[in-house]
Every structure is written in C-alpha cells, then in structure tokens.
Amino acid sequence: MKQNRIPRQNRAAGFTLVEMLVVIAIIAILASILIPVIARSKTKAKAATARVQMAEIDLAIKSYKSDYERYPMPMGQAVNSFGDVTFGDGFKAHNNVLMAILFSEDTSSHPLLKGVNDGNRRNPKKNKYLDAKESGESSSVTPALPGVSREMRYHDPFGNDYIVSMDKNGDGYCVDAFYGGLPNGALVGLKSVPKPGVGQGYKGGVMIWTNGPDMDRNDKQGVNDGVNADNIVNWN
C-alpha cells in the first residue's frame, strides 16, 4: 500500500513546540541577565551627571565669592548647628535660596523667595553664575524631576535636592549639617575641626552632595553605611 510521506524539507521548515519553548527560555534567561546590567549602567550614568552638575555648582559659588568676597546667601541666613550654612531639603532652607542668587533672579515678586535677592541686591552685577535645565514641574512631584523646578529648587537626575554647605563662620572648615556629626567622616575626606565640639568638616569652603539613587539618608549610620553608602558627594 502506498503511503503519503511529508517531504523532508517541509518537515524541517517549522519549529516544534519543544524547540519554541527552548528559545523562549533562552530569551528569558538573557533578559534576566541584561536588564539588571542596563539598570546599573543607567544609574552610573545618572550619578556621573550629578557629579558634573555638582562641580558646576561648586565653580559657580567660588566665582561668586571671587567677585563679591562673600558666599552667596541672603542677609541674616540662619546657620546650622556647627556655625556654617546648609541649603537643601530638610535643612534650614531649600537650595532655591542659593540658586536665586547664582541665577541672578530678582525675587521681588517671587511667592516663595521674596526678600532673598530682591532687586538683585545679593548679586548687583547681575552675573549669571550657573545655568541649568528647567524641569517645568513643581518640586512636590515625587520623585521630583531632574533640573530646576518652578520653585527654583535644583534636583539631581534621581530627583534629590542638591545639598550645599558653605563656610559661613570663616574658620577655614566647611561643616555640613548632616555629615558634620556622622561617624567615620575620614572615609569621605572629612577632618575634625580644631575648635572643640564643632564636629568634622571639609578643610575648604564648600560641600555639595545628594542622597543618591535610593533617595535616602540616615544620621544614625556611618558615612558609608546603610542608606548613606550610595550618597554622591563633591568636595576635594
């Protein structure tokens, strides 16, 4: 009896169910490997951008000080517990107080910053020391969008406020409101301030940092411990 047989070339043209499942499994394994790698690469790229922006802020502050022989801050700015000033979310003032001066913004009619730089009195030369992309959104968005918000707060690529401290008391050490009292400050280049009881600081004028990718900090942990380990710092 004659049998109908499928030509060999036709039988080889398609995938069997087993072969298809094997291919899907391989794709899933590759995806599980590549997705975390891509995520880490994006995080590193954002951290690198934050460091560049912090360097720009640092240069802007030093350029202002060179022109005016003082640090950019409003008259009568409240100091932190170490006698210096710290701007940023959760401290005496947000960084928009600093940015208004560096951006040469007249704050006379600003609803949140009136009195900070009215008539450009803290930057009478009207020099624009810093230029940054505007996010167009409010800082109340969670997480905040990168760039300068409508409230003039400057956020890093992760959505954190840039936190900036300056040596207001002129003792040659900048002591940050957060890092000034943390254990093991030497691990991030900080030194004990000679004056007893004043904590640890950077021997210089400016400290800038952010909470990093996890958007968190803890003043009960060391400088490189727990949620503080991924903080991004700029002082040298």
Chain centroid, CA 204 distance in Å: 20
Residue among 64, 69, 81, 84 nearest 164 (CA): 84
CA distance 126 to 133: 19
Among 40-44, 85-89, 102-106, 164-168, name the one with the lowest average pLDDT. Answer: 40-44
Q: Which pLDDT value is given to residue 96?
A: 97
Helix, strand, or coil here: 122?
coil
151 contacts 135 by C-beta, under 8 angstroms: no
Q: Is the pLDDT confidence value at 90 over 90?
A: no
Q: Which one-letter amino acid corresponds to residue 124?
A: P
Please compute the mean of the pLDDT values over residues 2-31 and round it to a whole number: 71
Confidence of residue 14 (pLDDT cuts 50, 70, 90): low
pLDDT in tens, 30-50: 888 877 777 788 999 999 999
pLDDT in tens, 101-124: 999 999 999 999 999 999 999 999
Q: Which one-letter amino acid corresponds to residue 46?
A: K
164 contacts 57 by C-beta, under 8 angstroms: yes
User: What percent of the chain is helix, strand and coil (3-state, nearest 5)?
Assistant: 35, 10, 55
Strand order in the sheet with 163-166: 85-87, 163-166, 206-210, 232-234
Per-domain residue ranges for the chain? 18-234
233 contacts 182 by C-beta, under 8 angstroms: no
What 232-235 contacts at long range (C-beta under 8 Å, 24+ apart), as own/partner pairs, is 232/47, 232/50, 232/51, 232/54, 232/156, 233/188, 233/207, 233/208, 233/209, 234/51, 234/54, 234/55, 234/58, 234/207, 234/208, 234/209, 235/174, 235/189, 235/202, 235/204, 235/206, 235/207, 235/208
Q: Which pLDDT value is given to residue 97?
A: 96
Please compute the mean of the pLDDT values over residues 74-87 and round it to a whole number: 94
Residue among 226, 154, 228 nearest 190 (CA): 228
Please compute the mean of the pLDDT values over residues 13-30 and round it to a whole number: 82
Q: Is the pLDDT confidence value at 175 over 90?
A: yes
Structure-block tokens of residue 18: 């087993």
